[in-house]
Structure 1
């Protein structure tokens, strides 16, 4: 577990350690580490890092380490050997499962960058059976193209259960202004050398194993979704902010939908607090995403001809300023304690030992899945029967209920041998149509906001794009009836 460490945070950590006590004296080590890969990045593309670290005050002076990306945000696999010198011993790599050795020779593996770190190490025993190493790292990632400073706090579980790590992280967050991070020094180094930026990971479908209990299924799904959320944090902070915000907002919606799907079996008080934090985070990300859609998708659709383009130019300039502010607010939220606290608390709550579910927890998921999906489908049916296409609020409620059903199906569809595809296709078609209508409504609202106050000069442009947006929305509304009818006739595959 890794946190960004400001000078003030370091001082507070030192005070925390003075109060908490620790196991043995503090150790200070100078760590000079070289990272290796092939020119085509064969190792990093396969999810592995290879490094050789020089320990100046150690009898075994050079240590070779291989790390894999592991399963999730906080899990890593690691292999380590003493070696004779600063070059890696490729003969030891055969011991690493799935390591990409095919066609790799010593000439292929070259130094790429190095880290120069002063590390202060303290061993903590926060709970019975738990041993955690707390490391304060200060230094730099250094490459031929430049360098980046490193100031981090790292917690590594040496003995005990992962829950102890989460609890210690949460305890630190009570008094220390820390920001949870996912990027490793290796990732930062390769980005520095290659001039790359963090990018969204490829979406993978969720497939649950058969025979899981409700509790096990919820734990697996929640861990996967929290990992997805954290994986997109560096994309928002340092990569393509627009795509990062988009993907992270989806991650938030998926987590909220998971809480709704399992709602009858969850402890309501805790679930409510997590829902509140997800709603808050969704609002911050949603504000940034709304301006992205305004500028990149909807505004171009509502501009017709050169005259309209001239009118819309001032709208675009002011909207770009609003977008920048909204993205800065999103980045700030991801670096603040509430976000870090949510991630750790959610992982702790859904851990194997966590008291997540009520007395229904041991029941097989397969037995409960039909009722879980039917509950969401009934809500959609209710919204569908009450739907008034002339009322945006009515359409918005239907869209939200449909989205929860769609995500619920995606979580559980592996239990149904491919029968979900046709039903999901109808869900997606209706969802897309409703989404287009909602985007046009949001566009008009934001355009009107731009003309408020002292910007009456924008009123003609707002009037022009609002009229065009209304015309486009009418076309979508005219086509909506067919989508509603086709979905209403779809037979739930789980019944």
Structure 2
């Protein structure tokens, strides 16, 4: 793998403000001792001065004003000393945490004057916020710290067994923190993959402070939805793909943790959306950038991950539909669907806990940051191409293909209509990925019109697909009479054809 000159590398080298570039991994099972026996850790240099018992107190207002701004404030007690730390989140959507970090001695307690020159300073100008900052929760950690030389980079390795406590509740967790002290961020991922051979490690996007907040506020367990993508106009295709892919892998990771914890259907849906958007980005850039064998292997991995989620999600949709249907279902029918759904979720959770699934996500993160595709000699011109020019050509090609393949909808087979729906979805995602490259008011208006049309067409074709697949999920379930099903099918086909005709008359916003 190659180490790209990306946002994380530039942030580390800039020196102002100070940055913390860190990768977090959660130990899914087993013990730290198993991890320590791995050959990758045999040559680590112990750091006794950074090991031991850590007691951290986190501060915020009662309504979590600091957290809303991506800021954490803590005092950590270690070896008889106290250090106050302010951290500020970097750009959204990165799996490796890229944060500003400011430390000052705190042996006399909380010192808000130390916020001068940090993002916290602006918040403290509000007297109400300043006066209401107080301790919220604590995190106690037993840490074993080491230093590793790996791929020419210096990495600090912290093996943490920790407990978050607040409001008479506590939660224990075990994690590995890899912090880049010198060198390239790509080394963090390569080292993490080496460690994953010893013990099941899953990528985590949760800072310790976030675990404390979740202990206090169950509402923070809400599913993560796609965030707007911001691409600089002069971004290259490599830079643009990395920004997009990081964002949706992060969305997937956040929701995967919720699915394991709560089995929330919305979390599963958003996890699947994150994966679909990631795969759509791979499809959009694929022929230009992602032609190497490693990229093909990652595509296969992501396809497998998507298939693992499909059955449970389809049954969620089916169950929601029959519960809201005008058709009267007896309890035995609904019970059968619920049992099928329960089994599908058990199978899904088993997959999410598997070493294969964890490795798929870790490999994908490493590939996004430092995959072979970044240095492939045959794609150098495409990698350096301005993404705005690429977006114009790629969206035009896909839009033309969609209008051509959208004709004669009634005569298409169900498989052909489903394939058309996938094309529509990829085009819709593409218009969202590249929206920031076309910021004018006129472009925005046209983009909204196009998004509405694509969304409507995707929804109608999706309903047709659901109508076709429902009975295959639970063969003994008869959702409605054949006559009623046919009337609904005809109505959806009429609406789809009408939406397709409207789409053929719209002017693309990117031209």
RMSD of aligned Cα (Å): 2.6
**Whole-angstrom distance in 1 between the partners of 2:256 and 2:305:** 12
Partner residue, 1:290: 314
Partner residue, 1:329: 347
Partner residue, 1:439: 466
Closer/same/farther in 2, CA of residues 239 and 473 from structure 1, 3 Å limit: same
Partner residue, 2:393: 371
Partner residue, 2:82: 62
- 1:192 corresponds to 2:219: no
- Aligned with residue 249 of structure 2, among 223, 226, 230: 226
Partner residue, 1:126: 150
- Aligned with residue 347 of structure 1, among 346, 365, 369: 365
- 1:4 corresponds to 2:4: no
Closer/same/farther in 2, CA of residues 149 and 369 from structure 1, 3 Å limit: closer
**Whole-angstrom distance in 1 between the partners of 2:350 and 2:145:** 29
Greater alpha carbon shift after TM alignment, 343-352 vs 213-222: 343-352
1:36 Cα deviation from its structure 2 partner: 1.6
Write the deviation string for residues 9-35 of structure 1: whole angstroms up to 9, x where unpaired: 423211115763013455631111111
Point out where structure 2 has 5 or more consecutive residues left out of the alignment.
1-22
- 1:274 corresponds to 2:298: yes
Greater alpha carbon shift after TM alignment, 115-124 vs 211-220: 211-220
Partner residue, 1:456: none
Partner residue, 1:167: 190
Closer/same/farther in 2, CA of residues 365 and 146 from structure 1, 3 Å limit: closer
1:431 Cα deviation from its structure 2 partner: 1.2
When normalised by structure 1's length, the TM-score is 0.87
Asked whether the 8 Å contact 1:440–1:470 carries over to 2, the reply is: no
- Aligned with residue 421 of structure 1, among 448, 467, 472: 448
Closer/same/farther in 2, CA of residues 441 and 302 from structure 1, 3 Å limit: farther
Closer/same/farther in 2, CA of residues 149 and 241 from structure 1, 3 Å limit: same
Greater alpha carbon shift after TM alignment, 386-395 vs 360-369: 386-395
1:254 Cα deviation from its structure 2 partner: 0.9
Point out where structure 1 has 5 or more consecutive residues left out of the alignment.
452-460
**Whole-angstrom distance in 2 between the partners of 1:126 and 1:211:** 33
- 1:46 corresponds to 2:69: yes
**Whole-angstrom distance in 1 between the partners of 2:39 and 2:496:** 61
Write the deviation string for residues 320-371 of structure 1: whole angstroms up to 9, x where unpaired: 2222332343344344333443333333333378643613211222333232
**Whole-angstrom distance in 2 between the partners of 1:104 and 1:481:** 57
When normalised by structure 2's length, the TM-score is 0.85
For residue 77 of structure 1, give the secondary structure of its aligned residue in structure 2.
strand
Asked whether the 8 Å contact 1:180–1:335 carries over to 2, the reply is: no
**Whole-angstrom distance in 2 between the partners of 1:52 and 1:174:** 35
For residue 426 of structure 1, give the secondary structure of its aligned residue in structure 2.
helix
1:382 Cα deviation from its structure 2 partner: 4.0
**Whole-angstrom distance in 2 between the partners of 1:104 and 1:79:** 23
Write the deviation string for residues 232-253 of structure 1: whole angstroms up to 9, x where unpaired: 2333233572111111111111
- 1:361 corresponds to 2:377: no
- 1:31 corresponds to 2:54: yes
